[in-house]
């Protein structure tokens, strides 16, 4: 990102002492050669300059004739709340400093000025302004990210996904969403519904594994009064509740086989028969299913009906893992930063210039959900306004290869076996990712390249819950 946008190349010096003003301008022209130094001899003149152009930083005296610095500070921040303002005075007191900071000054210096120290403070203030400017640009990109509700990302992979979602939403076809845990399958389902002609009708999400097997059938299809012990009144199932809208069956690969048969009939006939009922009733429900399971393997094992699979796979959407869209990490990180600030009722924070660097090296087994949790912890544990690399490591239990093998000086040393296992798991995930990506998800070719048997490679893929289908083009 360009660090030298026009508004970041100017500082404004405000003081009613002409000699001090000209002296500061000469010194800063030498010490900060890339910065354009503007001057104002009064608070009113400073406000006129700021009304006509943006500046990165304001260095202003408090004691001035026409308008004191605190009043000018209030007026500046009423127009631009994030403006970096440093106040200076020859009458420094603790009470005055506290009042200046409380009213929004970024820092406070006293006269006589020590130029080396003041230059360092200005450099830090300019860095703050640069970070704020970058975050504004990122938030602007976030707000226009593909016009898909709640989705963030501008990588080519995500832009293709947005187009697929929009095209799929317009149809009435059954949709199967595939992807690893934490990639946003539920978000995708909700986006499809909100963009579809059914958006004004119910959207019901069913976490299939969360409902006990003996209750899932009655929850989905409903039951009549007296259908079983305790059924003292008629109950409308989730299919009936979603009538006219969309029903999303999350982790459909975990539905018992006997229920798969009944679900297949619903998809074929568009009608349901509640438990204990004598007749069936027609429904108008669009089905979206999602899974992180290898349905093809489940079919081979007899755990998933092949005919149901082809009924569901009319349209298939693949949710990319975070390591496939690493260029979107800054957008996602800033989005989750603002979200976490709202959740924690926290003051506004920014990332330092190098804070996000470690995020590009991590293998992200938990995908976008893991990134969100990392940012949440950083906001919670960072005491100041700037989040640095050390804050993004707090609470992390999933180190990269480097951090697993080489603990930084001063950090807690984990047991050898634990560090070795963490390092091995990280290596295996990265290796299989690169392998499948190179082979476009072709397991046989990947097995030959890796000098593994097909069965051994599939065992590794299942063990690490890797979705091989997402690599197929």
Strands 36-40 and 57-61: unpaired
Residues β-bridged to residue 204: 247
CATH 1.10.287.1080 fits 156-320, yes or no: no
User: Which of the four pLDDT bands, split at 50, 70 and 90, describes residue 4?
Assistant: very low
Q: Is 137 a residue whose pLDDT tops 70?
A: no
To the nearest 10°, report the CA torsion of 125, 131, 132, 133. 110
**CB 294 within 8 Å of CB 464:** no
- Band of residue 467 on the pLDDT scale cut at 50, 70, 90: confident
CATH architecture of the domain 323-398 equals: Orthogonal Bundle (1.10)
Domain range 6-143, CATH architecture: 3-Layer(aba) Sandwich (3.40)
pTM above the 0.85 mark? Answer: no
Beta-bridge mates of residue 84? 57
Out of 102-111, 219-228, 414-423, which region has the weakest mean confidence (pLDDT)?
414-423
Which residue from 335, 321, 319 is spatially nearest to 160, judged by alpha carbons?
319
Contact yes or no for 349/385 (Cβ under 8 A):
yes
Q: For residues 133 and 56, what is the distance between their CA atoms, to the nearest angstrom?
A: 9
- Where would I find the beta strands (DSSP E) of 101-181? 107-110, 175-178
Would you place residue 400 in the very low, low, confident or very high pLDDT band (cuts 50, 70, 90)? very low
For residue range 345-377, what is the model confidence (pLDDT) as tens digits? 877 888 887 888 888 888 888 899 999 999 988
Closest CA relative to residue 202, chosen from 285, 263, 266: 285
The DSSP bridge partners found for residue 248 are 205, 288
Mean pLDDT, rounded, for 173-191: 93
Other beta carbons within 10 Å of 187: 17
């Amino acid at each position: 990102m360009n660090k030298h946008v026009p508004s970041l190349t100017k500082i404004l010096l405000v003081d009613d002492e002409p000699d001090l003003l000209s002296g500061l301008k000469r010194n800063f022209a030498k010490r900060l050669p890339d910065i354009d130094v503007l001057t104002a001899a009064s608070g009113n003149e400073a406000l006129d300059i700021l009304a006509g152009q943006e500046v990165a930083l304001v260095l202003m005296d408090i004691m001035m004739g026409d308008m004191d610095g605190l009043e000018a500070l209030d007026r500046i921040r009423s127009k631009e709340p994030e403006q970096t303002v440093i106040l200076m005075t020859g009458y420094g007191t603790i009470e005055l400093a506290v009042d200046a900071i409380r009213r929004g000054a970024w820092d406070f210096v006293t006269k006589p000025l020590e130029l080396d120290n003041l230059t360092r403070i200005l450099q830090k203030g300019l860095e703050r302004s640069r970070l704020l400017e970058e975050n504004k640009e990122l938030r602007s990109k976030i707000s226009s990210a593909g016009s898909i509700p709640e989705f963030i990302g501008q990588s080519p992979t995500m832009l293709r996904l947005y187009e697929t979602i929009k095209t799929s939403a317009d149809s009435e076809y059954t949709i199967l969403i595939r992807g690893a845990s934490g990639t946003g399958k539920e978000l995708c389902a909700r986006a499809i519904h909100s963009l579809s002609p059914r958006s004004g009708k119910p959207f019901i999400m069913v976490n299939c594994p969360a409902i006990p097997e003996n209750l899932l059938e009655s929850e989905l299809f409903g039951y009549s009064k007296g259908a079983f012990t305790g059924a003292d009144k008629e109950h409308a199932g989730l299919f009936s509740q979603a009538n006219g809208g969309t029903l999303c069956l999350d982790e459909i690969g975990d539905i018992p086989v006997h229920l798969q048969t009944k679900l297949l009939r619903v998809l074929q006939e568009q009608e349901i028969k509640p438990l204990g009922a004598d007749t069936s009733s027609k429904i108008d429900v669009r089905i979206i299913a999602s899974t992180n399971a290898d349905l093809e393997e489940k079919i081979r094992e007899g755990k998933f009906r092949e005919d149901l699979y082809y009924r569901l796979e009319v349209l298939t959407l693949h949710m990319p893992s975070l390591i496939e869209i690493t260029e979107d990490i800054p957008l996602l990180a800033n989005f989750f930063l603002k979200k976490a600030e709202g959740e924690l009722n926290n003051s506004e924070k920014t990332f330092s210039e190098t804070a996000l660097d470690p995020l590009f090296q991590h293998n992200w087994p938990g995908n976008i959900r893991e990134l969100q949790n990392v940012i949440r912890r950083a906001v919670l544990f960072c005491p100041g306004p700037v989040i640095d690399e050390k804050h993004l490591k707090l609470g992390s239990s999933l180190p990269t290869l480097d951090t697993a093998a080489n603990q930084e000086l001063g950090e807690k040393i984990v047991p050898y076996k634990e560090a070795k296992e963490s390092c091995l798991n990280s290596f295996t995930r990265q290796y299989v990712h690169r392998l499948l990506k190179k082979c476009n998800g072709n397991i046989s070719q990947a097995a030959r390249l890796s000098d593994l048997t097909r069965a051994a490679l599939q065992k590794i893929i299942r063990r690490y819950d890797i979705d091989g289908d997402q690599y197929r083009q």
